[in-house]
């Protein structure tokens, strides 16, 4: 299995980036990742005010997938996510949903013990390691790693966990896949501007899919299919994710448009991924059992 260490990072998704590692369709790879602060906040005495914001959300990569051509899809099976035994959180004035009420910055170190995040003496939270940033290069332009979009990137979707499969667009030759911003645990919304940010490594299996149309980014678990969308407002993101799911039911399962819309209103779930990034991200979920009946 190939391995890419965290010394190779990007801070912008761009077609101008050069692949630092080439792999073939079907290869498995392990990717090391910094936390979103490039591991610079190591104690509760480390202040966000001293952090160099040029180094926010480093994404390890990019990876060039041989044979991936414009219009193809990368199928990315998340096989495993291993995290370090310490995570960090911050709050700061004017950052996140609660930023206007926060008067001063605070850094919180969260130790990981026996699969639990130790939030306080009284509160322990079962970890659920996830990937915050994972994306491919856009067709043109340069997009900061902290900004989500149709190419993926900082979607901060808490269902981006081991066992699930993500589908992303190939907008440039090779795809140029990169990832980072792992969390040991994070709630929908990420309302305080951070989850439990952590370094670690991710094991992926990457395949190239040709001649297929899908609403992207698209996530699949054993039980559900999930459309993900990012936009300037949460309302827009929810609308796009929902429309994409309706189209998926119509195109892949031959539902009538009205029937698909009604089914989603009964058993589909519109959910928030995050509301703190430059664009907001929503997802729409439906259990597969309603599609295969």
Give residue for tokens 């005010």. 49
Q: Are residues 279 and 232 in contact, defined by beta-carbon separation less than 8 angstroms?
A: yes
**178-214 pLDDT per residue, tens:** 999 999 999 999 999 999 999 999 999 999 999 999 9
Query: For residue 118, what pLDDT is reported?
Result: 98
Q: Model's pTM, two decimal places?
A: 0.97
Question: To which residue do tokens 């899809």 refer?
Answer: 73
Share of the chain above pLDDT 90, in %: 94
When pLDDT is averaged across residues 34-54 and rounded to a whole number, the result is: 88
Query: Which structure tokens are listed for 59?
Result: 């994404």
pLDDT at 48: 78
Domains of the chain, first to last: 2-209 (2.60.120.580), 218-290 (3.10.28.20)
Report, as an integer, the average pLDDT of 217-230.
98
- Summarize the confidence of residues 69-98 as an average pLDDT: 96
**How high is the pLDDT of residue 292?**
80
Q: Is 221's pLDDT higher than 90?
A: yes
Q: What is the pLDDT of residue 180?
A: 98
Structure confidence by residue, pLDDT tens digits, 256-266 = 999 999 999 99
Task: Report how far Cα 273 is from the mean position of its chain's Cα atoms.
Answer: 9
Are 33 and 160 spatial neighbours (Cβ–Cβ below 8 Å)?
Answer: no
pLDDT band at 273; cut points 50, 70, 90? very high
What is the token pair recorded at 62? 């990019």
- Alpha-carbon span 219 to 197, nearest angstrom: 22
Which residues, 6 or more positions from 272, have their beta carbon under 8 angstroms from its beta carbon? 188, 189, 234, 280, 281, 282, 283
Q: What is the model's pLDDT at position 28?
A: 98
pLDDT confidence of residue 40: 92
Residue 139 confidence (pLDDT) above 90: yes
Contact partners, residue 145, CB within 8 Å, separation at least 6: 10, 11, 12, 13, 56, 57, 58, 59, 133, 135, 153, 154, 178, 180, 181
Distance CA 4, CA 13 (A): 17
What is the average pLDDT across 145-163?
98
Mean pLDDT of the chain: 96
pLDDT at 49 over 90: no
For residue 293, the model assigns a pLDDT of 64
């Amino acid at each position: 299995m190939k391995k890419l260490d965290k010394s190779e990072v990007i801070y912008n998704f761009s077609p101008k980036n050069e692949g630092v590692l080439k792999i073939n369709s079907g290869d498995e790879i392990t990717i090391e990742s910094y936390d979103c602060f490039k591991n610079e906040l190591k104690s509760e005495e480390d202040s966000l005010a001293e952090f160099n914001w040029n180094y926010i959300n480093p994404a390890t990569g990019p990876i060039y997938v041989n044979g991936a051509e414009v219009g193809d899809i990368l199928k990315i099976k998340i096989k495993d996510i291993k995290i370090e035994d310490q995570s960090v959180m911050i709050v700061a004035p004017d950052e996140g949903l609660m930023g206007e009420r926060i008067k001063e910055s605070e850094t919180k170190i969260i130790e990981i013990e026996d699969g639990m995040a130790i939030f306080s003496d009284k509160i322990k939270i079962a970890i659920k390691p996830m990937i915050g940033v994972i994306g491919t290069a856009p067709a043109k332009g340069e997009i900061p790693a902290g900004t989500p979009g149709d190419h993926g990137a900082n979607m901060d979707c808490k269902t981006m966990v081991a066992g699930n499969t993500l589908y992303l667009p190939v907008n440039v030759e090779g795809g140029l896949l990169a990832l980072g911003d792992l969390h040991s645990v994070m709630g929908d919304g990420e309302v305080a501007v951070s989850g439990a940010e952590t370094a670690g490594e991710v094991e992926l299996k990457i395949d190239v899919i040709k001649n297929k149309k899908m609403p992207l980014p698209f996530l699949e678990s054993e039980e559900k299919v999930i459309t993900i969308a990012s936009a300037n407002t949460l309302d827009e993101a929810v609308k796009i994710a929902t429309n994409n799911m309706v189209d998926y039911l119509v195109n892949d399962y031959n539902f009538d448009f009205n029937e698909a819309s009604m089914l989603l209103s009964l058993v589909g779930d519109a959910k928030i991924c995050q509301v703190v990034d430059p664009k907001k991200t929503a997802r729409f979920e439906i259990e597969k059992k309603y599609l295969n009946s």
